[in-house]
A and B are shown apart, each in its own frame.
Chain A
Amino acid sequence: SAVISQKPSRDICQRGTSLTIQCQVDSQVTMMFWYRQQPGQSLTLIATANQGSEATYESGFVIDKFPISRPNLTFSTLTVSNMSPEDSSIYLCSVEQYYEQYFGPGTRLTVT
């Protein structure tokens, strides 16, 4: 299975600022996914990122708020822009191999 790392593991940010989360995979993968997990909740898909194409966003998530880059087959970034306290969540990236998704350790974001 793929090994996935995320940076930062946690951060505390002030409202109105932006944070970029990095996701690195140890092997080349076609599809990467970004999820949000609000406190005590399940995972909600933000967007799917394929290398070489624009990310596909789920209903309720927009590119201006969550811009995503996917420059190559092993790396992606998610930016949380103009943050508010409601953005306080865990953000996880995942990759798919053989119909199975493997997750990074997550980034715990707190917005004050």
Chain B
Amino acid sequence: AQTVTQSQPEMSVQEAETVTLSCTYDTSESDYYLFWYKQPPSRQMILVIRQEAYKQQNATENRFSVNFQKAAKSFSLKISDSQLGDAAMYFCAYRSARGGGGSEKLVFGKGTKLTVNP
């Protein structure tokens, strides 16, 4: 079974600075998807960024980028120019690329609480 580990329960960053959130995962599969979700206090889960395992290029979405190291099974999220609105819980998640048999489900890490200081 796949597992996702987020080793930083809490992180803090100064407004306008850069912060990196860590995520490692364990799988025997070669094809899969990785995601970062943001959950602000409103509790709405928001998809931040997605990475396909077969792509070597790291995904970027505006101020958010990932460092995907497939061999090391590492998937970190970098937030540049941090804003107060980035304060939230961030969850790393894994999805198999297989179809059927329950493989569509997301496996989540325990989350990292990000605080942004003004």
Contact = CB atoms under 8 A, between A and B. Distances in A.
Interface of A: 1, 31, 33, 37, 41-43, 45, 48, 56, 58, 90, 92, 94, 96, 99-103, 105-106, 108
A56 B43 CA distance: 25
Query: Chain B contact residues (Cβ within 8 angstroms of A): what range?
Result: 20 to 34
Contacts of A99: 33, 50, 95, 97
Contact of A102 (B43, B47, B104, B111): B47
B91 A100 contact: no
B106 A101 contact: yes
B95 to A, nearest CB: 7
A46 B91 CA distance: 18
Contact of A42 (B44, B46, B109): B109
Nearest to B42: A105
A101 B110 CA distance: 18
A62 to B, nearest CB: 16
